[in-house]
Amino acid sequence: MKDSNFLKEHNAKSLWHPMAHPGDSLANPPAIITSAQGVKITDVDGHEVVDAVGGLWNVNLGFSCQPVKDAIAAQLDVLPYYSTFRGTTNDQVIQLAEELRKFFAPDGLTRAFFTSGGSDSVETALRLARQYHKIRGEEGRTKFLSLKKGYHGTHMGGASVNGNANFRTQYEPLLPGCHHIPAPYTYRNPFNESGPERLAQLCLQALEDEIAFQGAGTIAAFIMEPVLGAGGVIPPHKSFMPGVREICSKHGILLIADEVITAFGRTGSWSGSRHWGVQPDMMATAKAITNGYFPFGAVMIADHMTETFEKDTTGKAAIGHGYTYSGHPVGAAAALACLAETQRLNVPENAAARGAQIHRGLLALQEKYELIGDVRGGHGLMCALELVSDRATKAAVDKKTIGKLQKVAYEAGAMVRVSGPNIILSPPLVLSDAEAATILSALDSGFAAVS
Ligand code: PLP
């Protein structure tokens, strides 16, 4: 390995980072991670911490998942690549599709379309939604609805349904016909009436109103995360997603669950949709499907849609979409091993227990530190703290304070993620009791340093 100085200098000189200012790498150098074991990462200076980010919401099984590493290595030896475009396929992807069919049967999803990541999965679902309506003769259904504060990746379609200006403004004009409704965000409730349940009702009413305004016959799909992740971990009231399902069904609008983060155990359930008792029409997955060890994703498709596609005789159902790496055999082998490990270890159970532990710890920190305006969590290992400089006005905390807090927490033993005024915690789902305690005590040190 090159030495620390070489890596730091060339990081600033030779590469641009996603979601970062390209001129900022020297003043604010990123942590250079060079190895990892279990749920811990080690940087180029030899400092080891618990990874409370879980890679990027994806390393659910930790960094030492040997069966997945073995599956990847073995598959590289036997068949490192073969395409699934019309005319060929590979054995691994067929086996994976069959395992996913069984895994997602309770969600009513029976076919898989493979991708190389979350943005690809969202793009695929949006395209298939439009095509589905065209096959059925409803050509006018082209628009998409989504939630403000939602995050759906960075392709043009995904960016168009994203509900955060930071990921949109510099890339406009985006796809026409994408409209957003308020998110059920209790802490910064856009309505005058309070309470999570009432807020969910008002957001559902906003959805009904938008559908009436646009015309139901113009809308292809509504896309949402079961628990909003990148927007700051916003769990809706339990009535919200079932309410969305009901409204979509009533108006012939497809419901796409963006489960790039929530599928495979993160919410403490096997999927976010199952967490709320909802069957979506499509589900976008990625991230933990291969535990972050290989770029891979899958869109799962409901039965009624598969019939429309598979029985079509008009010629409109041929899928003019796909990626070179759709169904990559190494990714498929990794995903097969991940699925087996995820089930063997029953990771949602641990995610629920450790999530509750962390949530309790964060509420205790809120009692201690004025800076913590809101604590969000309670649904598996997805938690967030929203920091404010003043609890009464809810004015966001300044960047310097949150940056220092993150730095001190890192020195004290945990890598946490900062997104705007939020500290986001999404550690591996195999986290132990003691490792969860380390995250909390590192945060405590961070807050003590800036309070
Ligand atoms: N959808 C959601 C809900 C996500 O959280 C993300 C990434 O964080 C994406 C889509 C995009 O996934 P990727 O970064 O793999 O393209």
Looking at residues 149-160, what average pLDDT do you find?
Answer: 97
| pLDDT given for residue 393 in this prediction | 96
pLDDT tens per residue, range 260-280: 999 999 999 999 999 999 999
pLDDT tens per residue, range 416-438: 999 999 999 999 999 999 999 99
**SS3 category, 248:** helix
Hey, which of 260, 282, 296 would you mutate to test ligand 1's pocket, going by the most ligand atoms within 8 Å of its Cβ?
Answer: 260
The dihedral built from the CA positions of residue 54, 55, 59 and 65, taken in this order, carries a sign that is negative
Distances (CA, A) of 138 to 104, 186, 254, 308: 28, 37, 13, 13
Q: Whose CA is nearest to atom 12 of ligand 1?
A: 118
Does residue 259 line the site of ligand 1, with CB under 6 A?
A: no
Is the Cβ–Cβ distance between 439 and 424 less than 8 Å? Answer: no
What is the pTM (predicted TM-score) of this model? Answer: 0.98
Closest atom, ligand 1, to C-alpha of 153: 11
C-alpha 254, offset from chain centre: 20
Look up residue 222 and give its amino acid. F
pLDDT tens per residue, range 301-329: 999 999 999 999 989 999 999 999 999 99
Hey, which of 57, 119, 126, 419 would you mutate to test ligand 1's pocket, going by the most ligand atoms within 8 Å of its Cβ?
Answer: 119
CA atoms within 13 A on the CB side of 206: 20
- Percent pLDDT > 90 in the chain is 94
| 92-96: Cβ within 8 A, 24+ apart | 92/329, 92/330, 92/332, 92/333, 92/336, 93/327, 93/328, 93/329, 93/332, 95/332, 95/336, 96/332, 96/335, 96/336, 96/339
DSSP 426: -
| pLDDT given for residue 414 in this prediction | 98
Q: Does 190 score more than 90 pLDDT? A: no
Range(s) of the chain covered by CATH 3.90.1150.10: 31-61+346-450
Distances (CA, A) of 48 to 107, 298, 351, 443: 39, 33, 23, 16
CA pair distance 416, 236, nearest whole angstrom: 23
- The runs of H, that is alpha helices, within 141-195 are 156-161
- Please name the fold of domain 31-61+346-450: Aspartate Aminotransferase, domain 1 (3.90.1150)
ipTM of the complex as predicted = 0.99
The packing angle between helices 66-78 and 329-344, to 10°, is 160
260 CA distance to ligand 1 centroid (A)?
6
Closest atom, ligand 1, to C-alpha of 120: 16
| pLDDT given for residue 13 in this prediction | 86
| pLDDT given for residue 57 in this prediction | 97
Q: Does 97 score more than 80 pLDDT? A: yes
Is the Cβ–Cβ distance between 68 and 293 less than 8 Å? Answer: yes
Looking at residues 218-246, what average pLDDT do you find?
Answer: 98
- Percent pLDDT > 70 in the chain is 100
Cα 429-430-436 angle, rounded to 5 deg: 85
CA pair distance 57, 295, nearest whole angstrom: 13
Q: Does 125 score more than 90 pLDDT? A: yes
Does residue 295 line the site of ligand 1, with CB under 6 A?
A: no
| 1-10: Cβ within 8 A, 24+ apart | 1/34, 1/44, 4/32, 4/44, 4/45, 7/32, 7/44, 8/32, 8/44
- Please name the fold of domain 67-344: Aspartate Aminotransferase; domain 2 (3.40.640)
| pLDDT given for residue 28 in this prediction | 85
266 CA distance to ligand 1 centroid (A)?
14
Range(s) of the chain covered by CATH 3.40.640.10: 67-344
The dihedral built from the CA positions of residue 243, 244, 246 and 251, taken in this order, carries a sign that is positive
| pLDDT given for residue 9 in this prediction | 86
| pLDDT given for residue 363 in this prediction | 98
The dihedral built from the CA positions of residue 440, 43, 402 and 419, taken in this order, carries a sign that is negative
119 CA distance to ligand 1 centroid (A)?
6
Buried-state track 402-418, b at ≥16 Cβ within 10 A, e below 16: beebbebbbebbbbbbb
The average confidence (pLDDT) of the chain is 97
Q: Where is average pLDDT lowest: 17-21, 124-128, 175-179, 204-208? A: 17-21
Look up residue 177 and give its amino acid. G
Number of H helices, E strands in the chain: 14, 16
Buried-state track 273-289, b at ≥16 Cβ within 10 A, e below 16: bbbbebbbbbbbbbbbb
Cα 122-74-101 angle, rounded to 5 deg: 40
Does residue 122 line the site of ligand 1, with CB under 6 A?
A: yes
Q: Does 196 score more than 90 pLDDT? A: yes
Q: Does 1 score more than 80 pLDDT? A: no
pLDDT band at 23 (very low <50, low <70, confident <90, very high): confident
> In what helix (H) or strand (E) does residue 368 lie, and over which residues does it extend?
helix 347-368
139 CA distance to ligand 1 centroid (A)?
28
Distances (CA, A) of 71 to 77, 157, 387: 10, 33, 42
CA pair distance 194, 210, nearest whole angstrom: 22
50 CA distance to ligand 1 centroid (A)?
23
Q: Does 413 score more than 80 pLDDT? A: yes
Is the Cβ–Cβ distance between 363 and 443 less than 8 Å? Answer: no
pLDDT band at 281 (very low <50, low <70, confident <90, very high): very high
CA pair distance 357, 162, nearest whole angstrom: 31
pLDDT tens per residue, range 335-357: 999 999 999 999 999 999 999 99
Looking at residues 73-98, what average pLDDT do you find?
Answer: 98
Is the Cβ–Cβ distance between 286 and 297 less than 8 Å? Answer: yes
Cα 281-287-292 angle, rounded to 5 deg: 160
Which residues pair with residue 425 across a beta bridge? Answer: 383
Please give the structure tokens belonging to residue 257.
């669950």
Closest CA to 100 of 426, 343, 344: 343
CA pair distance 120, 131, nearest whole angstrom: 16
